[in-house]
Structure formats: structure tokens, C-alpha cells
Amino acid sequence: MPVLDVFNSNAFSMVSLTDSINKIPFMPGRIGKLGLFREQGVATTSILIEEKEGSLTLVETTARGAPAVQNAHNKRRARSLTVPHIALEDTILADEVQNLRAFGSDSQLEGVQQVMNDRLEDMARKLDATLEHLRIGAIKGQILDADGTTVLYDLFQEFGVTQQTEVDFDLDAATPTAGAVKKKCHDVKRKIEDELGATPYDHIHAICGSAFFDDLVVHSEVSTAYDRYLDGLFLREGQARGSFEYAGIVFEEYRGRVGTVDFTDTNKAHFFPVGVPSLFRQYNAPADFVETVNTIGLPRYAKQAPDTQFGRWVALHAQSNPLPICTRPRVLMKGKRT
């Protein structure tokens, strides 16, 4: 049997390869591990988000018998967002699988499957790293392309709102005012809670750049309180790339960089509430394959196509079509080191 004939096996069908690439564990990304995003497959390449703007106002007093104040109805708006398309391709040459078999096996198919699985795993890691970058953008309110500068979606513009004023934590102050950092934290919490209204949440989380985090944990106000709380553990072990809670906010140093693209600014912190129902959503659109048209989207897809002319190679294609968003971007706040 010619080496490349094995790719005619059902083991390398679109369904089998898609199933394989979706079984590969999600590895990179702290945001993915936080479990913030509720994933949902959709059957279209765009999504329509309907917003019902709830309003709470005080009712003015009127004289008895006078006309009552008219109740204001909630406004409804809808907006359409196109789901990003992320695709990777690779080529497996005939020479790469020539005379190949799995260790301890006489089956050539098993050996070729291992080559295919290795390629799928490598491609899945790159897709997952890209997804993490998109999710970070949703947390910051601005989803960027792979270059780290091209804006795919500015969620504040899309939802017709403005981001709240950036909070200056002034962490490099030579003579900081007592309780200044705690007051900044309370300010962040109050503004987020005001935006949430009656919606419940678990806690406020902050992903921090390294410079912001380092200056925060050595700040006289914070280090004293934290040292007292943990009975010296803070000074003995340090907090590099750790996390801790202060003034009702969980601060965490975030590590995110691929190539030359930094996922966060070293001098910034991004605040968001955790545990809010449907606050962070991720929509997965179907692949642009004939057999997946109008089907419910999956996290990843994979497919292979042999060289039909000379049979010298097999092209491998993997793709993902995710759109992670924050449905209430006004709750996303930003802080700066100084």
C-alpha cells in the first residue's frame, strides 16, 4: 500500500480530525483557566446582540389629582458582529512518513497518525494562544488582531458607551498618603457595582502588568497590611507572578506574550467583576467547509487534502472561529501605575 494511501482512511476524515483537535487540552492562558467565558456554538458567521437597557429613576412628587409622571420604557437596541476567522495550514510530505510505523507496531497507519496528531497539537496550541489574546481583548474592552495593534472590535464603541476614567494608583509616590491605595480600590469597586446595579457578582479581579504588580506589592500601605495578614509570608516568599486580595479586589500578575506581542501593558491593571451571569460570552461560528454550512459551530476544526496530481504531500488545515465579548463593557475599568 503506498504511504499516502493511508490518508484515505476514515481516521483522517474531516469529522475524525475535527474530533481529534478538539480533544487536545487547552493549555495556554490564565484567562481560559479562570473560566470566565461561557461558550456557545452558533450556525452563522455573525451574531446579533440585543440590548435591553434597564433604567431606574426617582419619581417626582405631584399634587393629588394632578397627572402622574409617565413611566419610561426600556429601550432595546440590536447590533451585529462578525465572528473572526482564524486559520492555519501545514503540509506533510511523503518523505516525512516514508517507512514510518509506530514504535512496537507493524502498522504504518499508527505511525502516520502520530505525525498527524503532532501537527494538530502544534496548530491547536497556536489557535489557543490566539484565543487567549482575543479573550484578553474582551476583558480590556478592545479586541485586537494578532499584530497587537489592529483593532477588530472596540466594545465601548459597539455598545455606544464610554469607558470610565482610568484610575491613577500613584504607586511610585515618594510620600504616599495613608490609605490612598485602599481608597482607589474602593473607587473601582463602587463604580463597577454602580454599573452592575442589582446584578450579583462574586468578586472584583484585576490582571496586572509586571511593573504595576511589583510596585503594588512593595507599596508601604499594601505590604504592611499583607504582611500582617499572612504573618510574614509576604516577605519570606515574595509574590512574583502571584495573586492576593486587598481592599476587596484580587490582584494577579498576568503573564502573556507571544513573539513580540505583549497581551497587557506592564504599567496597567484591568479590573472586571467575576461571577456575573452571561457577562463574558464566546460565540463559536462554523468553519467555511461545505459540510459545515449552517451547522452549530465548534471550538476548532481540522481537515486534510492529499495532492491529487502526484500524491507527494497532504495539506493539513485547522481553523477556529471564536468571538469572545463582554456584554456590559462599562464594568471594565483600567488602572495605571503612575
Task: Tell me if 325 sits within 8 A of 152, measured CB to CB.
Answer: no
Which residues, including other chains, have CB under 8 Å from residue 252's CB and lie 6 or more apart?
Answer: 30, 205, 206, 207, 208, 213, 242, 243
Give the pLDDT confidence of 145-197 residue by residue, as tens digits.
999 999 999 999 998 899 999 999 999 988 888 899 999 999 999 999 999 99
Q: Which fold has domain 3-53+76-336?
A: phage-related protein like fold (3.90.1690)
* Least confident piece of the model among 31-35, 85-89, 210-214: 31-35
Rounded-to-integer distance, Cα 191 and Cα 303, Å = 47
Alpha helices in the chain (DSSP H): 14-23, 30-34, 94-97, 108-140, 155-158, 180-196, 210-218, 220-230, 233-237
| Percentage of the residues of the chain whose pLDDT score is greater than 90 | 52
Rounded-to-integer distance, Cα 105 and Cα 61, Å = 86
The pTM assigned to this predicted structure is 0.85
**What does the pLDDT average to over 295-307?**
93
Give the pLDDT confidence of 116-152 residue by residue, as tens digits.
888 988 999 999 999 999 999 999 999 999 999 999 9
pLDDT of residue 114: 80
